[in-house]
């Protein structure tokens, strides 16, 4: 996602959650886990029923009551500020996500990376930094991981040491535990903006410009098939959210995802999510099966959150058989690499197709590749908008329509501008047929 929300929206963000400073931790570390354990013992005795959203307020009152009792009984003297911080810490550890709670509530943090119980990194504004938050031990971290995955019917143990999940907020979670991980349990949480980013947000961030927005809007309205590519954390999903918001409101859209991340706020959206196998190893529903099923649901457009395997073949078939204007994302380093990856993924579908036939299918189905990158300064930018023009011999012909021209790297910041090449795409005829007008200045190289 793109972490650089424009300044005009920053005033609406909640205050960054407080956490303990290193000095606070040093002063209280002997008491932190002891107080939590004492409170938890009393809660287990006194509290009846399951922990649900309805009874959390009652549970919080009981925790505060027992917390104050423990402080009094053990004659622990804390400043008012540290007492309040410690109480929030106890709340988080008993009914929340422990030391992750302050990080989850910090609007500036876009990714949380737990490298074992004692090392937690976060990403802020595209830069990775170490925090002072820690878990007590690996067992403590495992309890929090179980608390995350259990409500959605997932598990993580030695028999199934990797899991993808999501928090109720929609944040994406990946957990990997020993024996796969050699240094303790690992946890990665990708956060998404509560309020979806808009085109104006991305313009203010410098991710793209008004001319490119005008062009992409016209492409969506003209039902151009679009692939959004980029590396991990380059902002593909955010870009897909923004581009898909240009789809006319009267169309039926089906989204298909590994872990639901897209936030489309149109009236006629059907959201499908793949299902992993159950404890017996049965019941798995793959992305590919969902794409095939979606074709029977009368979609106007199909949006696959990310193509990773054989579903790329079904996505190409959908784009080429009456579902124009469909979209997907792929991991890649460049627009041409995106097409190579799609070729490879089609081969993974176990269809005995010759490479030339696959390339012809790719060239006839995909019309536009929008490539994003996370730059050296942590910002996300669209660096290429490339038309797929067809085949020449055995080669797919690509033509850049827009590109990011970096002129300098000054004071830790990338300096450059998104520019048009001056070339018009071959699918301009679709704009005319759809009655879609686009200003000549969009393709002006001096703009």
Mean of pLDDT over the chain: 85
- The helix/strand/coil state of 165 is strand
With beta carbons less than 8 A apart as the criterion, state whether 235 and 380 touch: yes
- What does the radius of gyration of the chain's CA atoms come to, in whole angstroms? 25
The pLDDT, as a whole number, for residue 10 is 35
- The helix/strand/coil state of 313 is helix
| Confidence (pTM) | 0.80
The pLDDT, as a whole number, for residue 16 is 39
Q: Tell me: the pLDDT tens digits for 73-121?
A: 888 777 788 888 888 888 888 888 888 988 998 989 999 999 999 999 9
**Length of the chain as a residue count:** 447
Strands (E), 216-287: 226-230, 253-257, 269-273
Q: How far is CA 361 from CA 200, 312, 326, 351, 382, in A?
A: 35, 11, 15, 13, 26
pLDDT band at 279 (very low <50, low <70, confident <90, very high): low
> Tokens for 169?
């907020």
Q: Tell me: the pLDDT tens digits for 8-67?
A: 333 333 333 444 444 454 445 556 777 888 888 888 777 765 555 567 787 888 888 888
With beta carbons less than 8 A apart as the criterion, state whether 117 and 134 touch: yes
Q: Tell me: the pLDDT tens digits for 363-378?
A: 999 999 999 999 988 8
Cis, bond preceding 179 (omega within 30 deg of 0):
yes
Compute the distance between CA of residue 47 and CA of residue 32 in angstroms, rounded to an integer: 22
Is 389 a residue whose pLDDT tops 90? Answer: yes
Question: What is the mean predicted confidence (pLDDT) over 301-317?
Answer: 88
Is 342 a residue whose pLDDT tops 90? Answer: yes
Spatial CA neighbour of 419 closest among 248, 222, 251, 211: 211
């Amino acid at each position: 996602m793109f972490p650089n929300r424009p300044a005009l929206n920053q005033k609406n963000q909640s205050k960054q959650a407080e956490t303990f400073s290193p000095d606070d931790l040093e002063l209280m570390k002997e008491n932190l886990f002891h107080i939590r354990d004492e409170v938890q013992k009393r809660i287990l005795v006194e509290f009846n029923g399951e922990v649900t959203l309805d009874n959390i307020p009652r549970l919080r009152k009981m925790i505060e009551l027992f917390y104050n009792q423990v402080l009094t009984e053990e004659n622990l003297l804390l400043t008012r500020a540290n007492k309040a911080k410690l109480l929030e810490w106890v709340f988080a550890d008993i009914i929340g996500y422990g030391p992750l709670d302050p990080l989850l509530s910090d609007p500036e943090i876009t990714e949380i990376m737990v490298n074992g119980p004692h090392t937690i990194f976060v990403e802020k504004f595209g830069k990775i930094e170490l925090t002072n938050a820690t878990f007590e031990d690996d067992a403590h971290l495992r309890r929090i991981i179980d608390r995350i995955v259990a409500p959605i019917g997932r598990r993580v143990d030695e028999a199934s040491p990797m899991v993808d999940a999501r928090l109720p907020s929609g944040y994406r979670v990946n957990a990997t535990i020993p024996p796969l991980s050699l240094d303790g349990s690992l946890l990665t949480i990708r956060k998404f903006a509560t309020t979806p980013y808009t085109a104006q947000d991305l313009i203010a961030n410098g991710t793209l410009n008004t001319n490119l927005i005008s062009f992409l809007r016209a492409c969506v309205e003209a039902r151009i098939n679009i692939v959004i590519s980029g590396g991990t954390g380059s902002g593909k999903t955010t870009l897909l959210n923004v581009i898909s918001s240009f789809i006319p409101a009267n169309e039926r859209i089906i989204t298909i995802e590994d872990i639901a991340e897209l936030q489309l706020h149109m009236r006629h959206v059907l959201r499908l999510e793949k299902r992993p196998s159950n404890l017996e190893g049965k019941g798995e529903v793959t992305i590919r099966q969902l794409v095939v099923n979606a074709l029977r649901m009368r979609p106007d457009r199909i949006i696959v959150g990310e193509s990773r395997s054989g579903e790329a073949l079904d996505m190409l078939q959908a784009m080429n058989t009456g579902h124009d204007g469909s979209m997907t994302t792929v991991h890649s380093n460049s627009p041409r690499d995106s097409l190579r990856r799609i070729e490879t993924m089609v081969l993974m579908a176990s269809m005995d197709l010759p490479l030339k036939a696959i390339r012809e299918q790719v060239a006839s189905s995909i019309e536009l590749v929008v490539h994003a990158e996370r730059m050296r300064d942590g910002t996300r930018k669209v660096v290429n908008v490339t038309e797929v023009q067809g085949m020449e011999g055995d080669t797919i012909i690509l033509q850049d329509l827009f590109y990011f021209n970096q002129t300098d790297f000054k004071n830790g910041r990338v300096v450059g501008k998104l520019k048009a090449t001056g070339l018009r795409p071959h699918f301009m005829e679709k704009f005319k047929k759809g009655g879609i007008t686009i200003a000549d200045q969009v393709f002006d190289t001096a703009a």
